[in-house]
Amino acid sequence: MADSTWINPYKLSLLERLSSQGTVYELDGGSVIKVPVQYPVDNGSNNDEKTGHLMQSLKAFNYFKQECRIYDLLSKHPHPNVVASFQCSKPDCLVLERIKPLEDAWNGSTEHLRGMWILELLDVVSFLEDLDYLHGDITIFNMGVDHENRLKIFDFGSAVHVSGGEFGHQILEDQFDLATCIFFLASGIDPFAEAQSFADLNRVRQDLQQCKYPFPAAAQRFQGVIEACWSQRQPTSFKQLRQAVADVTGISELRATRIWVSQAANPSLDLLLGRLRREEGWMNEEEYRSAWSNAGFKVPPLV
C-alpha cells in the first residue's frame, strides 16, 4: 500500500513511521508497534482500482495473521536471532523489539563480525526449517542488528509451511534470497540496489542465476555457497549450507545468549500503549469482507 488513503487500527499519526507501507511505528527507543492496514471500503477511482485495494487489504490481513501465528509458535520455540515480541494486551497489533537496520550496522562492522552474522542468519533459517517453515521473504530489509551486535530477522507474514503446495518452489527462492543476503553481509553490496525497473531486476537475477555476477574480494570465500544457491539447480538443507559456511569462516560455535521468549509486562510500554486510540473507520476482517460484499464486489473466500 503506497498512498495515504489506507488506515490502520489505531491513531498513530503522532508516532514516527518506520516503514513505507505504514505498518511499523516507533513506540520508544527499544520497541515498535506493527499493525495491519486496509483501504476504506469502496475506495478507488474505478472498479479495477477498487478491486485492487480490496485484494491488497485482504493480503495485508493474511500477512498479519500469519506473522501472529509464527510469533505464537516462536513463543514456545524461541531463538536468539529472531526479533523479540513483547507482551501486549491491545488487539490487532504486535509490539516488537526495535533493532538497527542492517545497512546502518554494516558500516561499522568488522570482517569477523560479518562472518558471525552470516552464520547467525544460517542458524536461524535452519531453526525455522526444523519447525517445518520457510521465512518466505529473506531480504536485507527484513533483518537488522541488536544492541549486542547480534543479527536478527523479522517480518514473518510470508512464512510458508512444509505442507503448503508452494513449499518446493519457495525453498529455491528462499535459498536464492539467502545467497543475496550472504553476498551483502560479506561485501556490503546489494546486487539489486541500482535496478530501476523490472527489466533491470530480471537482468541482474539472470546474471546471478548464471553465475556471471562479479565477486569482490570480501565475498570470494563464500562464492561456492552463494553461487550454489543463486543457480537454483537443486535445493539443499539450510543445515548443510550452515555447515559449509562454518567451514569457511572457521567459526564453529555461536555466541552464548539470553533468549527472549516474550517480555514481561513493561509499565512504560503499557503506558504508551494505553494512550493509543482506535481508528473509528477500522474494521475487523469479517466486517471488512461483508462491507465490500454489500458494496457489490466479489470477495474471495476467507483463508
Predicted local confidence at residue 258, as pLDDT: 53
State the CATH number of the domain containing residue 213: 1.10.510.10
**Domain match, 93 and 82 both:** yes
Three-state secondary structure call for residue 283: coil
What gap in Å lies between CA 275 and CA 258, rounded to an integer? Answer: 31
Please say whether the beta carbons of 250 and 244 come within 8 A.
no
What gap in Å lies between CA 19 and CA 155, rounded to an integer? Answer: 12
**Domain match, 157 and 179 both:** yes
Rounded mean pLDDT of 46-69? Answer: 94
Residue 279: other Cβ atoms inside 10 A: 17
Predicted local confidence at residue 2, as pLDDT: 43
**Domain match, 146 and 265 both:** no
Query: Over the stretch 62-110, which tens digit does the pLDDT of each residue have?
Result: 999 999 999 999 999 999 999 999 988 889 999 999 999 999 999 999 9
**Domain match, 178 and 119 both:** yes
**Domain match, 65 and 145 both:** no
Residue 295 has pLDDT above 90, yes or no: yes
Q: Provide the CA 68 distance to its chain's centre, in angstroms.
A: 13
> How many structural domains compose the chain?
2
What gap in Å lies between CA 185 and CA 149, rounded to an integer? Answer: 13
Query: Over the stretch 231-289, which tens digit does the pLDDT of each residue have?
Result: 987 778 999 999 999 999 888 777 655 555 445 456 678 888 888 999 999 999 999 99
Q: Which three cell numbers stand for residue 286?
A: 469479517
Q: Does residue 9 fall inside a structural domain? A: no
Q: Does residue 19 fall inside a structural domain? A: no
Residue 133's identity, in one-letter code, is Y
**Domain match, 228 and 240 both:** yes
Query: Over the stretch 167-191, which tens digit does the pLDDT of each residue have?
Result: 999 999 999 999 999 999 999 999 9
